[in-house]
């Protein structure tokens, strides 16, 4: 059965059971402070399980794209080494929000697997929760009795809290679960060892295929459990594993989910899958990782050095280094797989088709960049090896190479092994653990339970119409972190504070308490449909009614920048073309940032045209047309743009200024004239095919023009108030260039004249012509002089010191014969002697330079140079 049919039959089956079939949510989470990625099928529905939003549909089914790079069985460094764990995977799921429970979930799971998919029931095992005395949780007799209708006692296995009690996290909804496992071993193997003994023991052919979670508890901060107001069903079935079973394969990678990618990798790299274990692992790594990276980029997450972007870059770099090491690919090739992925999955996930070019460009650039890093790392590693006494390389040095330059530690170990050397792995692991400990300590956030004052599940946002209100605190909790200290999270029954989202920063303001005192609201965020206000302290009596006020000036400036970003988007599409799509934004009170797809740097004329376009619409004083809570189909008919990677509900809000129409939940000006003026301050690339514009409006633009006007006045004053300052500056530049050329010519003549004198000063020591001297020349002239002397003096060891602008410089030249025969190294020389001038440097073995801030150390450095040849 083809994978496309497997997926479709699942959705059709639950549609027949009156489930609403919903599309996959984005894999990258942009407005959830607790998660970077959708790591389980239930993540898009968290707010329903938490009771913070009422589900429009009580029964739902979907296939959800997920990403896991940490946790049980999902360590990134292990993916590819076995045949059934993945980074990106699809989770088929059916959901009940306070509707059906165990009876229906178990009956339908059995019906689908046995009657529809025709899986032999004698291959199946199920687990039920055995209870936990320490939690006061009883054996799940209800699930056991229900399973007995379909399967024999000998195939029902008791599971402990670790395997059969599912929890969303340290706090939140949880409950017992029943796992369904399948044994796909041969009859001979089954006869030797019972499948029952292999369940939950990491056997590659006895695997969990479906987990039915029965959510009925809430885990509190103190670890205790309380009953949820309603019971829910949350199921998750691994699509890749299901295909393995139905296609009668022994590995997920042998199914048609992966074989098209594997065949393409074989063709591109000229390697064959199934011949060599190292090659097989590398091919599996690439096939798995390209899916994760491609879907993340399509959802709007570009590789970067922080947060979710760092995770994506790390996954891609792991694939690159496996290709580099085991598939012998020294050129980019992974980007070519985007086409195969688009053909394979584009029908169910249309973003893979529409964003294919972006995915291709970004992966290719990342490959080029990391391959350059690997080349640089190989040179640095070679230097470490040369400077290592004995056969063991310092773990600390290897960690520096890994941490500073991103050079993979497994590649370091492999290269050392090939050279008959070893790595001090203990020291490396100690350095790595210290770094992780520091990172964990900085990231730890201790969260208390919510203190519920009033039961108000539906919090109303009123910030589009007012900046102040009289509110009640419905719940609060204390959160503590090393970075922020103690803060209180407050939830109001209604709020004018806009929570961070859609690229817009959260509102700030204050809460009035008695005697004219206030408690400042320092930030506003949204978590699981709750608008959370961060405050440094808590009112003495939180049950009172309080007046809350949004910082009007900051809100207005932010609104100006947000409305300007919509006009900027329109301008870019009009001037550059409709291929332009928004790829990210950040709207603050001081500035705005807008990321967009485009293939080339904007010219000065294009930037000017974009500014003129936006400012013309500001001058037109276009009125805001706002459409709240309209069906998404209606908004799209009005021409509203929906952004890839964003999750939209059935009803949306649309913002229109003239012909600019966008789906947006942010705050905006009532009239474009309020923006005053729009000014681009920078434009540049952030990834292949993605560029970034930073701009300012309003007060920031006024300040910008005032500062520039003042600077211009100062320049004119320096130029004696010339009427044509541009011509005056051009004349100065031309004059300066001419003078520089004269100085360079004089320096070269001076160096030539010195050559004869310096040859006479060379001292013969142990077969080396040694020369150490302090000169008054620039660095370029010293380099020319060094190579000139090297051509005229055999076996030259030259050390030159010079001083310029209060700084010290050392230059070392060593004849290549001496480098080879006596293992002398100019780079090592300047690094060691550079300490005497309070600096450092490096270079090649035959020529290197160093700089420092202690000119008085030059003489000592020149004296010390002789120790390398005596």
Mean pLDDT of all residues in the chain?
91
pLDDT score of 117: 97
| Residue 802, SS3 per DSSP | strand
Q: Is the CB of residue 598 less than 8 Å from the CB of residue 689?
A: yes
Tokens 């000998």 sit on residue: 154
Tokens 């204390």 sit on residue: 478
**Eight-class DSSP state of 111:** I
Contacts of 112 (CB under 8 A, 6+ apart): 10, 13
Q: What is the mean pLDDT of residues 707-731?
A: 85
pLDDT score of 444: 67
Range in 370-384, 445-459, 627-641 with the lowest mean pLDDT: 445-459
**Residue 60, strand partner residues:** 20, 95
Contacts of 482 (CB under 8 A, 6+ apart): 441, 442, 444
**The residue count for the chain:** 870
Check whether 777 has a pLDDT greater than 80. yes
Q: Which two tokens stand for residue 329?
A: 């690919």
pLDDT score of 861: 94
Check whether 286 has a pLDDT greater than 60. yes
Q: Which of 289-298, 443-452, 477-486, 818-827 has the highest mean pLDDT?
A: 289-298
Check whether 229 has a pLDDT greater than 90. no
Q: What is the mean pLDDT of residues 315-341?
A: 94
How large is the C-alpha radius of gyration of the chain? 33
pLDDT score of 379: 84
| Residue 373, SS3 per DSSP | helix
Describe the strand order of the beta sheet including 660-663 as a list of residue ranges: 625-631, 651-657, 660-663
Q: Which band of pLDDT confidence, cut at 50, 70 and 90, is reported for residue 563?
A: very high
User: What percent of the chain is modeled with pLDDT above 70?
Assistant: 98
Q: At what angle do helices 356-386 and 409-418 cross, to 10 degrees?
A: 50
**Residue 784, strand partner residues:** none
Question: Residues 825, 827, 829, 831: is their CA dihedral positive or negative?
Answer: negative
Q: Rounded distance, CA 169 to CA 158, Å?
A: 23
Q: Rounded distance, CA 810 to CA 861, Å?
A: 8
Is residue 176 left, alpha or beta, with left meaning phi > 0 and alpha meaning psi from -120 to 50? Answer: beta
Q: Rounded distance, CA 187 to CA 578, Å?
A: 59
Q: What is the mean pLDDT of residues 444-457?
A: 81
| Residue 296, SS3 per DSSP | helix
CA angle (392 as vertex; 389, 397 as ends), nearest 5: 85
Q: Which two tokens stand for residue 729?
A: 């500056």
Q: Express each pLDDT in 47-93 by its tens digit.
A: 888 777 888 899 999 999 999 885 444 567 778 888 878 999 999 99
Distance from the Cα of residue 211 to its chain's centroid: 29
Q: Is the CB of residue 594 less than 8 Å from the CB of residue 686?
A: no
CA atoms within 13 A on the CB side of 104: 16
pLDDT score of 807: 93
Q: What's the pTM value of the predicted model, to 2 decimals?
A: 0.75
Q: Rounded distance, CA 365 to CA 462, Å?
A: 45
User: Quick one: 376 exposed, middle or buried, by C-beta within 10 A (0-12, 13-18, 19+)?
Assistant: middle
Range in 111-120, 148-157, 366-375 with the lowest mean pLDDT: 366-375
Q: Which band of pLDDT confidence, cut at 50, 70 and 90, is reported for residue 723?
A: confident
Q: Which band of pLDDT confidence, cut at 50, 70 and 90, is reported for residue 443?
A: low
Q: Is the CB of residue 469 less than 8 Å from the CB of residue 462?
A: yes
Per-residue DSSP letters for 571-607?
HHHHHT-TT--EEEEEE-SS-EEEEEE-SSPPPHHHH
pLDDT score of 440: 63
Question: Residues 237, 242, 243, 246: is their CA dihedral positive or negative?
Answer: negative
Q: Which band of pLDDT confidence, cut at 50, 70 and 90, is reported for residue 556?
A: very high
Q: Is the CB of residue 633 less than 8 Å from the CB of residue 649?
A: no
Q: Express each pLDDT in 477-530 by its tens digit.
A: 999 887 778 999 999 999 999 999 889 999 999 999 877 789 999 999 998 888
Q: What is the mean pLDDT of residues 725-729?
A: 85
pLDDT score of 605: 96
Q: What is the mean pLDDT of residues 838-860?
A: 92
């Amino acid at each position: 059965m083809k994978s496309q049919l497997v997926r479709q039959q699942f959705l059709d089956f639950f549609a027949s059971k009156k489930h609403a079939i919903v599309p996959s949510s984005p894999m990258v989470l942009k407005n959830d402070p607790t998660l970077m990625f959708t790591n389980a099928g239930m993540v898009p529905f968290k707010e329903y399980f938490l009771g913070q939003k009422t589900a429009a549909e009580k029964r739902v089914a979907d296939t959800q794209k997920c990403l896991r790079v940490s946790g049980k069985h999902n360590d990134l460094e292990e993916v590819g080494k076995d045949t059934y764990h993945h980074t990106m995977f699809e989770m088929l799921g059916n959901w009940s929000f306070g509707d059906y429970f165990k009876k229906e979930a178990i009956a339908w799971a059995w019906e689908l697997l046995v009657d529809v998919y025709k899986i032999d029931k004698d291959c199946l095992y199920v687990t039920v929760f055995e209870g936990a005395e320490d939690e006061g949780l009883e054996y799940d007799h209800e699930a056991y009795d229900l399973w007995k209708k379909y399967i024999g006692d000998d195939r029902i296995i008791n599971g402990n809290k670790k395997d059969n009690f599912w929890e969303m996290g340290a706090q939140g909804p949880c409950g017992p679960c029943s796992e369904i496992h399948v044994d796909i071993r041969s009859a001979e193997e089954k006869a030797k060892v019972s499948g029952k003994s292999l369940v939950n023991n990491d056997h590659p052919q006895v695997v969990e295929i479906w987990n039915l979670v029965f959510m009925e508890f809430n885990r509190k901060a103190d670890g205790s459990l309380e009953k949820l107001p309603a019971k829910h069903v949350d199921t998750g079935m691994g699509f890749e594993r299901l295909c393995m079973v139905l296609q009668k394969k022994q590995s997920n990678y042998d199914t048609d989910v992966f074989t098209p990618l594997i065949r393409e990798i074989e063709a591109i790299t000229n390697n064959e899958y199934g011949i060599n274990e190292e090659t097989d692992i590398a091919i599996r790594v690439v096939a798995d990782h390209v899916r994760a990276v491609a879907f993340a980029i399509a959802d709007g997450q570009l590789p970067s050095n922080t947060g979710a972007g760092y995770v994506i870059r790390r996954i891609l770099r792991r694939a690159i280094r496996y290709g580099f090491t085991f598939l012998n690919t020294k050129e980019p090739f992974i980007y070519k797989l985007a086409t195969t992925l688009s053909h394979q999955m584009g029908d169910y996930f249309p973003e893979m088709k529409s964003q294919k070019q972006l995915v291709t460009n970004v992966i290719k650039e990342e490959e080029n960049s990391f391959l350059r890093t690997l080349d640089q790392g190989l040179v640095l590693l070679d230097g470490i090896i040369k400077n290592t006494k004995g056969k063991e390389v310092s773990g600390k040095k290897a960690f520096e190479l890994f941490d500073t330059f991103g050079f993979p530690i497994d590649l370091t170990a492999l290269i050392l092994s090939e050279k008959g050397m070893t790595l001090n792995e203990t020291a490396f692991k100690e350095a790595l653990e210290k770094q992780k400990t520091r990172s964990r300590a900085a990231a730890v956030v201790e969260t208390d339970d919510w203190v519920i004052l009033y039961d108000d599940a539906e919090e109303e946002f009123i910030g589009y119409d007012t900046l102040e209100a009289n509110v009640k605190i419905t719940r609060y909790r204390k959160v503590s972190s090393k970075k922020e200290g103690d803060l209180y999270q407050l939830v109001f029954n209604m709020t004018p504070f806009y929570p961070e989202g859609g690229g817009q920063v959260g509102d700030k303001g204050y809460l009035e308490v008695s005697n004219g005192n206030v408690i400042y609201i320092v930030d506003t965020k949204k978590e699981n449909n709750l608008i959370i206000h961060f405050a440094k302290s808590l009112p003495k009596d939180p049950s009172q009614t309080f007046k809350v006020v949004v910082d009007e000036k900051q809100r207005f400036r932010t609104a100006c920048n947000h409305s300007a970003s919509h006009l900027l988007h329109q301008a870019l599409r009009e001037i550059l073309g409709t291929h332009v799509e928004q790829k990210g934004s950040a709207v603050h009170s001081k500035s705005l940032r807008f990321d967009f797809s485009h293939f080339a740097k904007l010219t000065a004329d294009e930037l000017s045209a974009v500014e003129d376009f936006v400012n013309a619409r500001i001058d037109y004083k276009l009125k805001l047309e706002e459409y709240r809570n309209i069906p998404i189909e209606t908004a799209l008919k009005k021409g509203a743009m929906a952004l890839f990677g964003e999750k939209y509900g059935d009803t949306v809000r649309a913002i229109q200024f003239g012909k600019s129409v966008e789906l947006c939940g942010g705050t905006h000006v009532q009239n474009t004239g309020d923006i005053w003026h729009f000014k681009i301050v920078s434009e540049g690339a952030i990834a292949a095919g993605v560029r970034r514009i930073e701009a300012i409006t309003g007060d920031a633009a006024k300040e910008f023009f005032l500062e520039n006007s003042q600077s211009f006045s100062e320049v004119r004053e320096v130029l004696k108030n010339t009427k044509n300052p541009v011509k005056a500056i051009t004349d100065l530049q031309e004059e300066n260039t001419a003078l520089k050329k004269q100085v360079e010519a004089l320096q070269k003549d001076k160096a030539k004249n010195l050559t004869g004198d310096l040859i006479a000063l060379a001292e013969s020591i142990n077969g080396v012509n040694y020369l150490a001297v302090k000169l008054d020349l620039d660095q370029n002239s010293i380099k020319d002089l060094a190579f000139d002397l090297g051509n005229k003096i055999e076996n030259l060891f030259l050390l030159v010191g010079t001083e310029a602008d209060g700084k010290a410089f050392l230059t070392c030249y060593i004849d290549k014969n001496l480098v080879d025969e006596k293992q002398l190294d100019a780079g090592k020389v300047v690094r060691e002697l550079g300490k005497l001038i309070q600096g450092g440097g490096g270079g090649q073995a035959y020529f290197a330079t160093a700089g420092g801030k202690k000119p008085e150390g030059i003489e000592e450095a020149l004296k010390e140079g002789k120790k390398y040849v005596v």
